[in-house]
Structure 1
């Protein structure tokens, strides 16, 4: 395995960049999974996109549950490594992996047994769209345990300062998905095309390959994975700490997905095409929020180790540099969505009556991109010091704000665009309040250090 990055010494900007860029690259790769599916599925028409969009909501919900072992494990392992205690870090890693496997299997069983009821929530109009959504849900979420384990392993590696391995194995997964998508969706020669089901199988197979490559990469890693010993019982206090740290983030992400489901059901009142617009639009703007999420993971790992080592000044400088980088990326994303909305949307859907709706979505949501990026940097900083409640409170409050705001604004002359404005404004609020909140917490943390020095 490639040597890990030293997060406790050296240039802060250089260290953060070397840690963050592979993670951000990995986020691009993960975004690529979804974009590749959307490009090919879009060739089947907006009905197929609507089906995948509805079922994909439950994949998003699954990511909320993954947050418990992923964030809880990453922060706990990072802080123990910073404190010079890799043995205990391995115990936390073992607990996180076991929890990820259990939750993944449980979620898969529920998705298989209740697929009809879950898709029925959206009140989709076309029987074909409903059936395709059920099939996509059963395949992708029925086998989602591999995605759960991939994310937990990636989080542990990030806590160790190793983000290159995640980038490499995820890249291989994307290449496999790129090859399999058109083959399984449309078929070739004697191989009959499977449509939406083909896209689902391609995604799951790529996730399995990534999991196998992860196992190969960490097999002989001596610091954490070489000490895990899966047959040994994890102390209950470690499990409680993982849950304590990861649960607020999990609740935020899960509630966010549930709120989005309510919004999607509301949007379905404008027809299945409107659902397709939201799905495609969110995939296009993922160039911003996937990057923010990836960078948040890097900030989390950097601050967790330095927090464990008690390096307050390095934490402050690292956070400031992260905010600067994310602000620049947010501005770039906003410009892209404002200047080229039609170009990006037509990559996925070319139906003339749908394109204007997509252009409106991208221009309205584009206003919030810089705030979304700032929220990501602040979230990672809070997670790194083990305080996951502030970002969760902010996220839950303003994500819930979307529902009444969407109802009120869409009842005006804005119509469907009122829903897009509700989404955009909630991001503006979160991206303003959370960075200011962390600044207050950071000042208190620094003051505490000065008081200890006086004593």
Structure 2
């Protein structure tokens, strides 16, 4: 492929995923604003367990990618029947894995908020929120699996549309589940809107229902409508040691990586919790606000995983290198632009998320600090996606361990008692810049390409 063709393909595959991520973030803003209208305690109760839900979601992503990366490489090698066999294996293994994680999370839901150092006034709601989330984990797992399998088969449009629809469903369910029955004035008329009045639990239930609907839709499109991946034809459902072994080899370092990242975020939550409810709420909303900036990077990373994975499967080394570098460049440029917008529009963003003035002022301050890290953060996100496509997951996980625990947590522990939440976000900014630099070095040294070549041989 020519350079121009590679650029067009990276852009074309990235756009649907980026639009889906942006629509997801817009809906998260609306979601946060709905809960934020209930007060800072409601916001803090969700923020308290957010890092843990990210950790659990990361485990689901790792399990899914262990199989979908294999599928991408088989498709690149024109071995589509093997890719469908991988899909069959993934449905069985990931389903069993999700049930185990579900039961584990349910068992700790009662004590988790207290262990994280939450204030007494938020622990009960936080526990209820996490319990409902845990019950929906099988749906979360199959949504991740269905989306990643479709993306790795080259279909970026279907998961993008369905994931965007999930966010719309989330807001719709929240509208009826969070708030009580009330009278709404529209024009000159007054309308009675019925609601369950469940508060924070309603937000969790709305998310769970949207996950279930989206997971079923993605599995239907994957298993019965996809021209490449549909499993209605021949093929067995027994677990193959070859596919399972390779899935474990890919997934375990990724799970370790997510554990490192999310574990550090959980510890960060414990560091922030003693700073008070205002800091917990501001930290949670700042993370939501920042996601508008970095989620497009994850869209490009998904495209990079597909393109590099299929190129490695087809034994096209130069093409894999080109896709990886182009994807990182596109991610860095796009996230630099969004960081610029985030810095100047931070006050308006927080005005939409919460009516509490103290939370807004603190959130704007820390969000502007983070804007300076976004270009290099983009490099780490997209480079990780490219490396993942080549099956290179162990070294990136080690780099994340060194960066998160050696730099971010150490700095946050030192700075938080002295300058509060601002210190925690300064530590985050410094760490993200260093992490991005490490991933660029890994990408350009190209040992990941040599490893992929040896595996194919």
Give TM-score scaled by structure 1 length: 0.91
Q: Could you say if the C-alpha distance between residues 8 and 56 of structure 1 is closer, same or farther in structure 2, counting changes exceeding 3 Å?
A: farther
1:131 maps onto 2:124 in alignment: yes
Moved more, 148-157 or 117-126: 117-126
Aligned residue in 2 for 1:280: 285
Aligned residue in 1 for 2:185: none
Q: Could you say if the C-alpha distance between residues 208 and 364 of structure 1 is closer, same or farther in structure 2, counting changes exceeding 3 Å?
A: same
- Within a 5 Å distance, the mapping from 1:180-195 to structure 2 comes to 180-188=173-181, 189-195=193-199
Aligned residue in 2 for 1:29: 23
- In 2, the alpha carbon distance for the partners of 1:85 and 1:313 equals 21
Pick aligned residue for 2:416 from 410, 416, 426: 410
Q: Could you say if the C-alpha distance between residues 289 and 268 of structure 1 is closer, same or farther in structure 2, counting changes exceeding 3 Å?
A: same
Pick aligned residue for 1:319 from 321, 324, 331: 324
Q: Could you say if the C-alpha distance between residues 271 and 339 of structure 1 is closer, same or farther in structure 2, counting changes exceeding 3 Å?
A: same
Aligned residue in 1 for 2:384: 379
1:174 maps onto 2:144 in alignment: no
Pick aligned residue for 1:121 from 115, 120, 127: 115
1:39 maps onto 2:33 in alignment: yes
Contact residue 335 and residue 378 of structure 2 kept, 8 A: yes
Aligned residue in 1 for 2:207: 203
- In 1, the alpha carbon distance for the partners of 2:95 and 2:297 equals 26
- CA shift, 1:126, in A, is 2.9
Aligned residue in 1 for 2:188: none
Show structure 1 runs of 5+ residues with no match: 1-6
- CA shift, 1:231, in A, is 6.6
- CA shift, 1:9, in A, is 11
What SS is found at the alignment partner of 1:386? coil
Q: Could you say if the C-alpha distance between residues 69 and 410 of structure 1 is closer, same or farther in structure 2, counting changes exceeding 3 Å?
A: closer
1:76 maps onto 2:70 in alignment: yes
Contact residue 67 and residue 247 of structure 1 kept, 8 A: no
Pick aligned residue for 1:153 from 123, 146, 153: 146
- In 1, the alpha carbon distance for the partners of 2:395 and 2:235 equals 33
- CA shift, 1:37, in A, is 1.9
Contact residue 136 and residue 212 of structure 2 kept, 8 A: no
- In 2, the alpha carbon distance for the partners of 1:43 and 1:440 equals 49
- In 2, the alpha carbon distance for the partners of 1:229 and 1:425 equals 53
Aligned residue in 1 for 2:91: 97
Contact residue 178 and residue 195 of structure 2 kept, 8 A: no
Show structure 2 runs of 5+ residues with no match: 182-192
Aligned residue in 1 for 2:262: 257
- In 2, the alpha carbon distance for the partners of 1:358 and 1:76 equals 41
- CA shift, 1:142, in A, is 1.6
- CA shift, 1:291, in A, is 1.8
Aligned residue in 1 for 2:238: 233
- CA shift, 1:66, in A, is 1.1
- CA shift, 1:175, in A, is 2.0
Aligned residue in 2 for 1:423: 428
Pick aligned residue for 1:354 from 337, 344, 359: 359
Pick aligned residue for 1:19 from 13, 25, 39: 13
Q: Could you say if the C-alpha distance between residues 378 and 144 of structure 1 is closer, same or farther in structure 2, counting changes exceeding 3 Å?
A: same
Contact residue 294 and residue 335 of structure 2 kept, 8 A: no
Contact residue 283 and residue 421 of structure 2 kept, 8 A: no
Q: Could you say if the C-alpha distance between residues 174 and 67 of structure 1 is closer, same or farther in structure 2, counting changes exceeding 3 Å?
A: closer
Contact residue 46 and residue 276 of structure 1 kept, 8 A: yes
- Within a 5 Å distance, the mapping from 1:207-226 to structure 2 comes to 207-218=211-222, 219-226=224-231
- Within a 5 Å distance, the mapping from 1:294-305 to structure 2 comes to 294-305=299-310
- CA shift, 1:193, in A, is 1.0
1:59 maps onto 2:53 in alignment: yes
- In 2, the alpha carbon distance for the partners of 1:396 and 1:433 equals 12
- CA shift, 1:336, in A, is 1.7
- Deviations along 1:91-143, one digit per CA (max 9) or x if unpaired, are 2222222222122222222222221122221121133x111101111111221
Aligned residue in 2 for 1:432: 437
- In 2, the alpha carbon distance for the partners of 1:114 and 1:345 equals 32
- In 1, the alpha carbon distance for the partners of 2:74 and 2:388 equals 14
Contact residue 57 and residue 257 of structure 1 kept, 8 A: yes
What SS is found at the alignment partner of 1:403? helix
- CA shift, 1:351, in A, is 1.2
- Deviations along 1:193-252, one digit per CA (max 9) or x if unpaired, are 110111111111111111222233231434222268797212112111011112211211
Q: Could you say if the C-alpha distance between residues 228 and 38 of structure 1 is closer, same or farther in structure 2, counting changes exceeding 3 Å?
A: farther
Aligned residue in 2 for 1:4: none
Moved more, 45-54 or 217-226: 217-226
What SS is found at the alignment partner of 1:343? helix
- In 1, the alpha carbon distance for the partners of 2:232 and 2:447 equals 34
